[in-house]
Chain A
């Protein structure tokens, strides 16, 4: 026997202050912070899809375009994300290679896949393993900003390595797209409403 839903108790959660408003008192605004009340996040699925797709589109140039330009003693080289991973691996720094690979490839791809999976299951009103899907979503929220690691690394390097003729590191367009990917996936995660996962259960009831 599952516990009752908020709807059934005529309650609605304020998105801003998380106050459980009683619809009996005020149907539109939070009685505590006066924010508009929604049953679910508005247009959650469409917005998440949109942001996810945008992130996916940006993920292509983020990987194709170089993220860094290293100038060391006139030796010019540009690095893409995957290229740097391969280089680091070949240079023997496999630990750093793994970190960068996880942060910049595994995590974003995982986010795409998980979000897409959640969206699809919600739209199909699947009822199975709701708990696990919710856990997936929580995990998604948790790891989201770790993808910014790359952006931070590039930013730090570009700021620190400015030795003129001896060596110079400049960020390249790729990192901008990568940052956009991270931001967009995080936004997509935020716009997704995890309660939608359970709605199918309610409908069944």
Chain B
């Protein structure tokens, strides 16, 4: 290209000058090409360097689904980085995923940022991550709030149920048993899901499980200091004395367990929202959770002389129909004196469950105490109460609560006609006298009835009956032979008489027939009589008005107006 400027004349005679003119210094234009290439390459490198964000390392249990350069890191479905390498950890216990975050993802290097792999999983709240079936797994991130930054992170094995910044409150529940609860199990309030289980761990002593739940705003204000939590895990099939009761919160809780909470209506003074991280007890079921406060327990013992099949531990103890306790133990005793096996039933009674009756009694007791100047412990007060009650005929009785299931319960009822006995005391327990069940008594009466029936001399009775029947038959034959012919003759006589009477009646009917002359005459006579009576009446009327007419005779037109009615 350097020798473009040769003379342009065509077919001109060749000049004698040099063959080719060359510039002394020349840089071929072609060098622009590699120069451009280098510039482009450099600019790309610079851009890549400018765009490259922080590089972090995340450790996971397994590298399942993590592929270098393919697995993205996402936050709210926005790609904020990429896995650039996956390698084994130092002790081969973990895998380390090297992640290159984009430049603007600086917030994701905060110390408390959480990372987890999103895979399709069937979790507590249903099936999640189905999209990754097609798109492949990805790492999800939840930026933290901490001010410090880190380069190494521990990846979570499962997605955190609650992401940072979600408004709500966490509460600590103490449960005896975790049941089927898992992280992510729903928390219900009036069957509306308002939160979920965030974490759980065993007590330090191993005596229970601490379950942390999260209740999201604005439902967290329904949790007050008085709120009770209970486990609604699975299907609560309660075959109690009240029959079969099935409690189920939802299908989700059937699979993954669940927690519900509610506030009992009584004493709900503390309606303010509970503090964050407040501690609550996690009850086993709704019934115990919402039951009113029981107060001090009192042990009672009862000895029954009958079989108590159907009585179970936990069966209720009723006082006048009100449940005030439950059976705690059923044991068999042996009575040497009469060689029987009485059943000893231990029960725990909560006098406070008697409600107002208990309060009133305590008040009266206190007033008595103030008079006696000697305060007594409340336990002995209860004992005193029961002493008086037993004195008035309080008896324990095992009754059938449900004929279908045959379950029994203990009823404390008054029987004023019962024999006088005193309450006995065993160290800590009161022994309450018992009474045989009404059903058992009916059974006994039925037995005696059947006994009596079996004593009736049915055979002799039937023999006597047989003889009587024979006599009756004889009498009947006699009647056939003698009485019947005679009565037949009598009947014939009667027949004839009837015929004669019929004739007489026929002639009488003839005489009174419709067109008979006798009847016509009678009618005329009657008409005559009617007319006569009418004139007599008018005459009598006239005389009443004009009695003087009897003497003076009738005066015409004198007082015509008087005649008018």
Contacts and interface: CB of A to CB of B under 8 A. Distances in A.
Contacts of B134: 72-75
Contact of B28 (A47, A54, A73, A75): A47
A154 interface: no
Nearest to A45: B28
A42 interface: yes
Contacts of B10: 34
Interface stretch (A55-63, A89-97, A127-135, A197-205): A55-63
A126 B19 CA distance: 27
B44 A61 contact: yes
B41 A61 contact: yes
Given A61-B44, A74-B134, A75-B134, A50 B31 contact: yes
A151 interface: no
Contact of B2 (A42, A54, A76, A77): A42
A47 B1 CA distance: 11
B493 interface: no
Contacts of A54: 33-34, 36-37
A60 B44 CA distance: 11
Contacts of B34: 50-51, 53-54, 57
B38 interface: yes
B30 A46 contact: yes
Nearest to A29: B10
A58 B28 contact: no
Contacts of B30: 43, 46-47, 50-51, 191
Interface string B18-40: 01000000001011011011101
Contact of B14 (A26, A53, A75, A83): A26
Given A47-B28, A54-B36, A58-B37, A27 B135 contact: no
A22 to B, nearest CB: 13
Contacts of A28: 6, 14
A197 to B, nearest CB: 21
Contacts of A47: 28, 30
Contact of A27 (B14, B41, B69, B131): B14
Contacts of A61: 40-41, 44
Contacts of B70: 76-77
A61 B19 CA distance: 44
A184 interface: yes
B391 interface: no
Given A50-B33, A58-B41, A43 B28 contact: yes
Interface residues of A, number: 29
Interface magnitude class on chain B = 20 to 34
B28 A78 contact: no
A10 B69 CA distance: 63
B1 A75 contact: no
A73 B135 contact: yes
B556 interface: no
A17 interface: no
A58 B136 CA distance: 33
Contact of B31 (A42, A46, A60, A76): A46
Contact of A57 (B1, B19, B38): B38
B72 interface: yes
A83 B44 CA distance: 21
B41 A60 contact: yes
Interface in A169-185: 180, 184
B3 interface: yes
Given A50-B34, A51-B30, A78 B2 contact: no
A181 to B, nearest CB: 10
A159 interface: no
B136 A75 contact: yes
Contacts of B131: 74
Contacts of A50: 28, 30-31, 33-34
Could you say which of A34, A42, A78 has the most chain B C-beta atoms within 10 Å of its C-beta? A42
A46 B72 CA distance: 46
Contacts of B40: 57-58, 61
A47 B44 CA distance: 25
Nearest to B44: A61
A186 to B, nearest CB: 13
B463 to A, nearest CB: 101
27 contacts: A26-B14, A27-B14, A27-B19, A36-B3, A36-B6, A43-B2, A43-B28, A43-B30, A46-B28, A50-B28, A50-B31, A50-B33, A50-B34, A53-B34, A53-B37, A54-B34, A54-B37, A57-B37, A57-B41, A58-B37, A58-B40, A73-B134, A73-B135, A78-B69, A83-B69, A184-B33, A184-B37
Interface of B: 1-3, 6, 10, 14, 19, 28, 30-31, 33-34, 36-38, 40-41, 44, 69-70, 72, 131, 134-136
3 shortest interchain CB distances as A-B pairs: A73-B134, A54-B34, A74-B135
Given A76-B135, A191-B30, 11 more contacts: A50-B34, A51-B30, A51-B33, A58-B37, A58-B40, A61-B41, A73-B134, A75-B134, A75-B135, A83-B69, A180-B37
